[in-house]
Amino acid sequence: MRQPQPKPDVLDRRAAIVAGLRAILPADAVIAEPLELKPYETDGLSAYRQPPLAVVLPRSTAEVAAVLRLLSREGVRMVPRGAGTSLSGGALPMADAVVVGLARMNRILEIDETDRFAVVEAGVTNLAITEAVKARGFFYAPDPSSQLACMIGGNVAMNSGGAHCLRYGVTANNVLGLRGVTVEGEVVTLGGKYPDAEPTDWLGLVIGSEGQLLVVTEVTVRILPLAEGARAMLAGFRANEIAGACVDAIIASGIIPVALEFMDRPAIHACEAFAHAGYPLDAEAMLIIEVEGSAAEQDALLARIRAIAERFDPISMRVSQTAEESAAIWKGRKGAFGAIGRISPDYLCMDGTIPTSRLAEVLGRIRQMSAEYGLEVANIFHAGDGNLHPLIMFDANDPQSQGRAEAFGADILRLCVEVGGCLTGEHGVGIEKRDLMGEQFAPEELALQRRIKGAFDPAWLLNPAKVFPLVEA
């Protein structure tokens, strides 16, 4: 992956820049020793590594503002970082950049049950929000697979989704307000503590902007009441096409399950070996379907769904009878990445979205490509909303294998765009898909987006070299 040349003057002034940071932050908040920079050299896309110039770990919005003022004045690039779980390399440093790590900003500032929101700092983990409000009967809806580790600031940067967003929406639909710092070090507030607090949707523009418009330090999320209960069922089918048709039929019946997940045969086998959830090993495709409500409502909905699934000649169907059984079903799905990690030394997780009507065709062509590239692939799919996660297995110790895996991944994403979809449904463009943006956008469309970024960051110091293909200087 090509990166812009580090700014030689910044590298030359490294000592002075670090000293400047030490002057405005507590001693333990500035990291500049090569060995201590190591943990920050990569993120969830570990194929790429680059130690930064330095790392700062501010504890407050005021400290973030002071850092950004200094770095802006010095013309130093900045890379915001939450937990570093990005699968697209969104937090990959540059040699001449300072990583602004938000992990120490991990306080929950306010929970309001009447107005149903929570104000949390950017370094609070996704799951910690739900944990903090659960006892009061609430939850925070978006639930990326990495929710135990990933931080809300990163979720905002990437507009993260999860398995339940068909029903509850993605991050952008669940955030009411933000506090952040502009590249010049000005503290700004977007939105508020109620919906539509600003007529212009700055909030919507900043969410998903991959840390390129603002460094977000506080997030006001809406919290939703927990349902009376939830239950999952499994259904195994003889072919991907048949499982896809079953998904269509469920939605056509007027049912929007809270989750509707699709796994193909390799994914079923890998996850079952890991979670022992009782997945049907003889099926070509499997659906996990979850419904909510009282016990009677769950029974009624699951009965409707079973009746629909019966029309598609399922190999097996199993309705979870206990909370433990539902948890095991989800353990397999949420642990899918780890499960693939057990059977392959390395894998690439792709993240395209396709119109759901093209599912069978796309999976067929991915299988064909898998044979051509000589690499195994397992497919996991948020079936209701068309968000596809092919996991391409390879061996990073074999450079040829890695190159083939990346080429295979790029072909899958081109295919997603070709059938009317997009390059990324929830992981973000980051560095990984940067050079594929031209597949989805015309040059003038990319130029327009670049100029909107420039409206916030005229000198291109905030997380540059991500999202947009590099422009020749």
Work out which of 425, 432, 461, 463 binds other proteins, going by CB under 8 A. 425
Query: What is the distance between the alpha carbons of residues 174 and 183, in angstroms, rounded to a whole number?
Result: 25
Instruction: Specify the residue, 69 or 193, whose C-beta has the smaller distance to other proteins.
Output: 193
| Interaction of residue 135 with other proteins, rule CB under 8 A | no
The pair of structure tokens assigned to 29 is 């908040």
Q: Whole-number minimum distance, CB 207 to other proteins, in Å?
A: 7
In the complex, least distance from residue 68 CB atom to other proteins, rounded to whole angstroms: 16
| Binders of other proteins in range 395-424 (CB under 8 A) | 420-424
What's the CA gap between 190 and 284, in Å, rounded? 47
Minimum distance from residue 173 beta carbon to other proteins (Å): 5
In whole angstroms, give the CA distance from residue 45 to residue 424: 15
User: Cβ 159 to other proteins, closest distance in Å?
Assistant: 5
User: What letters, b where the CB count within 10 A reaches 16 and e where it falls short, cover 382-407?
Assistant: bbbbbbbbbbbbbeeeeeebbebbbe
320 vs 328: CA distance, rounded Å: 9
Amino acid at 166: L
Interface segment toward other proteins; rule CB under 8 A; list 34-42, 291-299, 306-314, 400-408: 291-299
Please name which of 29, 33, 31, 78 lies closest in space to residue 58, comparing C-alpha atoms. 29
Residue 294 interacting with other proteins (CB under 8 A): yes
Write out the binding residues for other proteins, residues 436-455 only, by CB under 8 A.
437, 440-442, 444-446, 448-449, 451-455
**Residue closest to 361 by CA, chosen among 302, 421, 307:** 421
Q: Does 161 bind other proteins (CB under 8 A)?
A: yes
Closest by CA position to 68, among listed 102, 92, 40, 98: 98
One residue of 297, 361, 411, 435 binding other proteins per CB under 8 A: 297
Of residues 87, 172, 175, 232, which one binds other proteins by CB under 8 A?
172
Integer CA distances (angstroms), 444 to 210, 424, 440, 449, in order = 21, 20, 12, 9
CB-nearer residue toward other proteins: 95 or 197: 197
The DSSP 8-state label assigned to residue 107 in this structure reads -
Looking only at residues 55 through 94 of this chain, which bind other proteins when binding is defined by CB under 8 A?
none
> Binding residue for other proteins (CB under 8 A) from 234, 427, 462, 466?
427
Q: How many chain residues interact with other proteins (CB under 8 A)?
A: 87
Q: What angle do CA 53, 57, 58 make, to 5 degrees?
A: 125
Nearer to other proteins, 228 or 313 (CB): 228
8 Å CB contact between 405 and 333: no
Stretch that binds other proteins, among 17-25, 73-81, 114-122, 369-377 (CB under 8 A): 114-122
For other proteins, the closer CB: 31 or 308: 308
**How many residues belong to the chain?**
473
Nearer to other proteins, 252 or 371 (CB): 252
Looking at residues 177 to 216 of the shown chain, list those that interact with other proteins (rule: CB under 8 A): 188, 192-205, 207-209
* Minimum gap (Å) between residue 281 Cβ and other proteins: 29
Phi and psi of 380, rounded to 5°? Answer: -125, 140
State the minimum distance, in angstroms, from the CB of residue 96 to other proteins: 24
Residue 86 vs 401, nearer CB to other proteins: 86
H/E element, 326: helix 323-334
223-262 residues in contact with other proteins (CB under 8 A) are 225-228, 248, 251-252, 254-256
**Residue 167 buriedness (CB in 10 A; 0-12 / 13-18 / 19+):** middle
Considering only residues 340 to 399 of the shown chain, the ones binding other proteins according to CB under 8 A are 353-357, 382, 384-387
